[in-house]
Amino acid sequence: MNDPETRDLIQTMAHECIAVRVRLINRLVTAVYDEALRGVGIKASQMNILVAVSMFGPSKPAKICSLLRLDPSTLSRNVERMKKKGWLEAVPGADARSHLLAVLAPGNAILRDAYPAWREAQKKAAAILGGEALDALLARGSRLLNEGLSPDEP
Amino acid sequence: MNDPETRDLIQTMAHECIAVRVRLINRLVTAVYDEALRGVGIKASQMNILVAVSMFGPSKPAKICSLLRLDPSTLSRNVERMKKKGWLEAVPGADARSHLLAVLAPGNAILRDAYPAWREAQKKAAAILGGEALDALLARGSRLLNEGLSPDEP
DNA sequence: TCTTGAACATTGTATATACAACAATGTCTT
DNA sequence: AAGACATTGTTGTATATACAATGTTCAAGA
């Protein structure tokens, strides 16, 4: 059906591709958190943002994008939805090009409510990854998060 | 701004969350492949599917979903786009509830064309992950792929 | 045989994500 | 001070993703 060389290429890609494996794990892990958090009414994506803003206090959107490596347009759309739910607000900052994102009381309430479900999800995700992959992944992930952190600045 | 207990919860979630780290890595890795493959005209998502179908030969959609842990509706939409590009076709199978997905010549041509860019992306992705995380992730990912493999059946 | 339930794919809807283009503001250089 | 360039966010468009609901076909049991 294919010449042998093409078959070889495809075999190599199937057996060694990093992307398909990372993406598979991402789907599995995200599904675990989304399912655990369903009762609380938040999903992993928005929870990541909410936690980040809550950690740093009022923050420029660019800072959150840099931390999480989110495209600005992606964050913009997510913030839009989170404003509508009353979790976030935009307050004017020093620079008129941008505002600061701040967590509102209902946003903090959601985070508190989410904690037990989050713990559950952590357990399940750890089981999916297994000890070795978990440790390496947490270490690498934390490092990448830190690298995305600009010095100072809101 | 928050009571100390809430601040603790949020700190814990920020420092230990598996989801935010997996999702960050997923965005980075996916971006590397999408960028490398841009010239070829395919993205990581569709390439994953194309490689899978090419590996197994004509396959029931359910099999690909099980392998990659994709929701059937997600696969359906992606296949739709890939049919439109002439990479895939649906051929009737033994069971009238489903057809079989088969790779067409242009689909195989794309995979051949993509190979060099894929190799580039592999290098960059490996650099992002670093040796340890890479090994653990590949091992775990390969295992999860195998677990999604049903016995026999197209 | 008929019916009931399982298996399977698709469609409707919503969110998540990124790229390209744009608009507004700020900074720096001459 | 003026113009060039950088920074920052939003909007238009397309893809990726999942859940809920639906329709069709199959299989198994009464």
Question: A29 and B19 in contact by Cβ < 8 A?
Answer: yes
A85 to chain B, minimum CA–CA distance in Å? 20
B125 touches chain A (CB under 8 A): yes
B146 touches chain A (CB under 8 A): no
Question: B122 and A18 in contact by Cβ < 8 A?
Answer: yes
Which nucleotide lies closest to A74 by the C1' atom and the CA atom? C17
Q: Please, are residues A127 and A135 in contact by the beta-carbon 8 Å criterion? A: no
Q: How far is CA B22 from CA A37, A141, A145, B16, in A?
A: 17, 7, 11, 12
B130 to chain A, minimum CA–CA distance in Å? 8
Higher-confidence position of B5 and B15: B15
Pairing assessment for the beta strands A99-103 and B99-103 based on DSSP bridges: unpaired
pLDDT at B4: 84
Cβ of residue A96 lies below 7 Å from strand C: yes
Chain A stretch 75-104, residues whose beta carbon is closer than 8 A to a beta carbon of chain B: none
Which nucleotide lies closest to A82 by the C1' atom and the CA atom? C15
**Per-residue 3-state assignment (H helix, E strand, C coil) for A53-112:** HHHHCCECHHHHHHHHCCCHHHHHHHHHHHHHCCCEEEEECCCCCCEEEEECHHHHHHHH
B115 to chain A, minimum CA–CA distance in Å? 7
B4 touches chain A (CB under 8 A): no
The string of pLDDT tens digits covering residues B122-143 is 999 999 999 999 999 999 999 9
Domains of chain B with CATH codes: 4-147 (1.10.10.10)
What whole-number distance in Å separates Cα of residue B93 and Cα of residue B35? 36
pLDDT at B76: 98
pLDDT at B31: 98
pLDDT at B50: 98
B116 to chain A, minimum CA–CA distance in Å? 10
pLDDT at B86: 98
Residues whose CB is less than 8 angstroms from the CB of residue B83 and which lie 6 or more positions away in sequence, other chains included:
B89, B90
Cβ of residue A73 lies below 7 Å from strand C: yes
Higher-confidence position of A94 and B152: A94
Q: Average pLDDT of chain B?
A: 96
Question: A145 and B21 in contact by Cβ < 8 A?
Answer: yes
Name residue A46's beta-bridge partners.
none
Q: Please, are residues A68 and B20 in contact by the beta-carbon 8 Å criterion? A: yes
pLDDT at B52: 98
Q: Taking the C1' atom of C14, which residue's CA lies nearest?
A: A81
Q: How many residues does chain B have?
A: 154
B26 touches chain A (CB under 8 A): yes
Question: Among candidates A71, A113, A108, A49, which has minimal Cα distance to B19?
Answer: A49
* pLDDT band (50, 70, 90) for residue B152: low
pLDDT at B150: 76
Q: Which strand D nucleotides have any atom less than 7 A from protein CB atoms?
A: 7-13, 15-21, 23-27
Q: What share of chain B is helix, strand, coil (3-state, %, to 5)?
A: 70, 5, 25
The string of pLDDT tens digits covering residues B82-121 is 999 999 999 998 899 999 999 999 999 999 999 999 999 9
The number of helices, as runs of H, and strands, as runs of E, in chain A is 7, 2
pLDDT per residue as tens, chain A (154 positions): 688 888 999 999 999 999 999 999 999 999 999 999 999 999 999 999 999 999 999 999 999 999 999 999 999 999 999 999 999 999 998 899 999 999 999 999 999 999 999 999 999 999 999 989 999 999 999 999 999 987 766 7
For residue B23, pLDDT over 70 is answered with yes
pLDDT at A152: 65
A22: tokens are 């990372």
A33 touches chain B (CB under 8 A): yes
Q: Which strand C nucleotides have any atom less than 7 A from protein CB atoms?
A: 7-13, 15-21, 24-27
A119: tokens are 């713990």
pLDDT at A146: 96
